[in-house]
Amino acid sequence: MSVNDETIYIKIERNVLVYGRRVVLGDIASLTCSNEAMLRQVKQKKIYSFRDLDEKKNVERAIFSILKVVELIHEDYPNAEIQNEGEADFIIEYIKDPKPNVWVTYLKIAILSLVMFFGGAFTIMSFNNDIGITELFGKFYVQVMGEESGGFTELEISYCIGLSIGILVFFNHFGKKKITPDPTPIQVQLRKYEQDVDDIYIENSGRGGKEIDVD
């Protein structure tokens, strides 16, 4: 078997981050081939070059079809067989400065924490008010103790403790520690959101003719 007849296995994820303007295949793909010399050459194959970003823009994206990658590889190895084990369409995301401003990050975290805290507190209070939790606890206390409650009782304390523990167990997260190794519900939802965003980028690029594909 000649060098050009080798099989190249390639795998590219749906969204790939790069931090340099010049992108080679080895930056975005996992590759394997029985011919090591050929594999090294293919990994250095130039795929794309991003333009210089202005000061206000820190991210640029390019939407690619795997067919374009196959075409570029065939420029050097026309008889090579390409086996795609990854995505048919993918996004290359160029980030100019991978280190964000620390103070801006802290400010975003603080604002988000405040919004989540007051939003969650308002939601819990609204729920308790809708179901009449105060009257419910009062009636339950009378049935068990045989007398009217004098205000804040063991029921309210147990309810608050149980609610806090339930939230921690459900979200599987306390500070930087996780109760179990499973992904948290927030991580799952964020992953679904990222997949939906990637799908929209790819679909819009395909419809608008902006996807980098074969002619």
- Please report, for the chain, the start and end positions of each structural domain, with discontinuous segments joined by +: 3-99, 172-207
| Structure confidence by residue, pLDDT tens digits, 120-142 | 889 888 988 888 888 888 888 78
- Report the run of H or E that residue 171 belongs to, with start and end: helix 154-171
Second-level CATH architecture of 3-99 = Sandwich (2.60)
* Residue 98 confidence (pLDDT): 65
* Residue 150 confidence (pLDDT): 72
Q: What is the pTM of this model?
A: 0.72
Q: How many CB atoms lie within 10 A of CB 29?
A: 24
Give mean pLDDT in consecutive 10-residue pieces for the chain, a chain of 215 residues: 73 92 93 91 92 76 93 91 93 81 86 90 87 82 78 81 85 75 85 92 87 84
* Residue 198 confidence (pLDDT): 92
Closest CA to 63 of 121, 16, 10: 16
